[in-house]
A and B are shown apart, each in its own frame.
Chain A
């Protein structure tokens, strides 16, 4: 049974204004539903404000919060928009669609959020400390927070995210409690080498098999990068309800398998090359030639943009295919200053910022077959059945679509 203290009760009665009352109604209902005993303070929030998922109803919600005097109580960042906020016209976005996205942007700005428009806020502007509690939406970021940063967050659902941000509080349940952060299943990867696709496929395989158990993952290379962990976690979270992965040697407090499991014995699952091949054949749904190649779900870092630029050097995109590389506005600016943008775009590819392909109106833009190395994107977009997805490594993609 959720217990509200006297000041929280006052907010629920409306004594802190309409926005906080609405927020408290949502948070208290959810707290009750999940069996939380109390609400706890958060250090930061991360919310969703992209039109493709929020629709007109989401505009109503965010505008309601903003027009009733709501202000974010903690530093708050925001996931990508459904359009490139600066260059949307050149990407063929219909004006009516852009207008609704900009209503979301305006309401978000009025609420006082950081205008970062990225799903990798932890690489850009939202830096909680180890052990702190946050309320983040965006499943890939939540996995990164719990697994790499040692920050505590549940996967906060749309609507709830804004409510937590306005209150500066979240119900205590799930990943906020130590006992739910113990690994209950171990995955052991046995691979000689890892391609960019392998990190994603391992994550995806684990997400499917772990179900609601927290996994521990053994066998990653010792020099695994935060970018590789970002994509692995995103794939895991797209494949199942995973909110935390123990990476021994990376996850704060987890040096060994025993640290992850609390010394208890758990089921061990081997991840072999053939398991990864079955993920690939599951996500690579067609042999058709793509009309769009999408890299950057989640957003690429400046380092990753540099790698793409290097791979594209001296190559030209073939006719009939577009290639969009998605990143944060901040990494875009760095790419601009360092010549990386120019060298990527010389090939005929484009960098797009503040949005990504998974939440773009792909069908409206006339795309039918999309090729990516993002397991997350392949899984989510294919579930609608309108667009066929191809899932290949970055190297294979570039070899296929450029000459």
Chain B
């Protein structure tokens, strides 16, 4: 597949474009991403060592501590946040973090859920994709 659209459910509005950063495993910002750099530090993550800044971050589910929304928000405060988040199941931490980011810092991050892992893994790591949080669409370039 060299183009095409993945359709999910838009949870947080806004549009974004960035390099795809794809995790196959449950993901958390809490103790999992260093907010001061955007580096993925979770020893159990398959994308440990990658950086989330400006990426379109894909993961199947959230996991772990209910503080993840705060870690995500700190990542936004430092400007090291992903351009958008796309998940399979709803990750409340991403939604709450994004609402707070909108109100406090004027930077809502588009969030889409309902895109199965099996579908997004067709995308190549680092491939540029665009995201529309209103329509819930992830679009691959030709």
Residues of chain A whose beta carbon lies under 8 Å from any beta carbon of chain B = 22, 25-26, 29-30, 32-34, 48, 53-58, 60-61, 64, 137-139, 155-161, 238, 241, 380-385
- Report yes or no: A34 in contact with B70, Cβ–Cβ below 8 A: no
Proximity bits, B91-131, A CB within 8 Å = 1, else 0: 01101110110011000000001000000000000000000
B136 within 8 A of A: no
Q: Which residue of B lies closest to A22 (CB)?
A: B103
A34, A139, A157, A160 pick with most chain B CB within 10 angstroms: A157
Residue of A at shortest CB range from B100?
A159
Q: Is the CB of B69 within 8 A of A159?
A: yes
| Contact of B90 with A by CB under 8 A | yes
Complex CA distance for A61 and B76, rounded to whole angstroms: 13
Smallest CB separation, B23 vs chain A (Å): 15
- CB of A55 within 8 A of CB of B100, answer no
Of B32, B66, B74, chain A has the most CB atoms within 10 Å of the CB of B66
Q: Are A159 and B96 in touch, CB under 8 angstroms? A: yes
Are the CB atoms of A61 and B100 closer together than 8 Å? yes
The one of A22, A139, A157 that contacts B96, using a Cβ cutoff of 8 Å: A157
Choose from A55, A61, A158, A382 the contact partner of B43 (Cβ within 8 Å). Answer: A382
Contact of A385 among B35, B43, B70, B95 (CB under 8 A): B43
Q: Is the CB of A58 within 8 A of B70?
A: yes
Pairs A–B under 8 Å by Cβ, sample size 25:
A32-B11, A33-B11, A33-B92, A33-B95, A34-B92, A48-B66, A48-B67, A53-B67, A54-B74, A55-B71, A57-B35, A57-B70, A57-B73, A57-B74, A57-B76, A61-B100, A61-B104, A139-B65, A157-B69, A158-B69, A158-B96, A159-B97, A160-B69, A161-B66, A383-B64
Assess A29 versus B95: contact at CB under 8 Å? Given A157-B66, A380-B64, A383-B44: yes
Nearest first, the 9 closest Cβ-Cβ pairs linking A and B are: A53-B67, A55-B74, A158-B70, A57-B73, A57-B74, A385-B43, A57-B77, A157-B66, A54-B70
Residues 30-58 of chain B, each 1 if its beta carbon lies under 8 Å from chain A, else 0:
11100100000111100000000000000
Distance between Cα atoms of A33 and B13 in the complex (Å): 12
Inter-chain CA distance A138–B67, complex, in Å, is 9
Q: Is the CB of A157 within 8 A of B68?
A: yes
Q: Output the least CB separation between A213 and chain B (Å).
A: 14
Asked whether A55 lies within 8 Å of B66 as measured between CB atoms, the reply is: no
Question: Once the chains bind, are B95 and A241 in contact (CB under 8 Å)?
Answer: no
Residues of chain A lying within 8 A (CB to CB) of residue B69: 157-160
Asked whether any CB of chain A lies closer than 8 Å to the CB of B141, the reply is no
Question: Which residues of A sit under 8 angstroms from B11, Cβ to Cβ?
Answer: 29, 32-33
- Tell whether, in the assembled complex, residue A57 and residue B90 are in contact, meaning their CB atoms are under 8 Å apart: no
B12 touches A29 (CB 8 A): yes
Residue numbers in B under 8 Å from A32 (CB-CB):
11
Max chain A C-beta neighbours (<10 A), residue from B35, B65, B97: B65
Cα A54 to Cα B66 with chains together (Å):
11
Tell me the bound Cα distance from A33 to B71 in angstroms: 20
Q: How far is the CA of A156 from the CA of B95 in the complex (A)?
A: 13
A152 to B68, CA, bound (A): 22
Give the residues in chain A near B77, CB-CB below 8 Å.
55-57, 60
Using Cβ atoms and an 8 Å threshold, which residues of chain B touch A54? Answer: 67, 70, 74
CB of B78 to closest CB in A, whole Å: 8
For the complex formed, measure the closest distance between the CB of A364 and the CB atoms of chain B, giving whole angstroms. Answer: 14
Other contacts beyond A30-B92, A53-B70: 11, CB < 8 A: A29-B99, A30-B95, A33-B11, A33-B95, A139-B66, A156-B66, A157-B68, A157-B93, A383-B64, A384-B31, A385-B43
* CB nearest to B92 among chain A residues: A157
Is there contact, CB below 8 Å, between A33 and B42?
A: no
Tell me the smallest distance from the CB of B113 to a CB of chain A, in Å. 7
- What's the Cα separation between A34 and B35 when bound, in Å? 26
Q: Which residues of B contact A58 (CB under 8 A)?
A: 70, 73-74
- A48 contacts B70, C-beta separation under 8 Å: yes
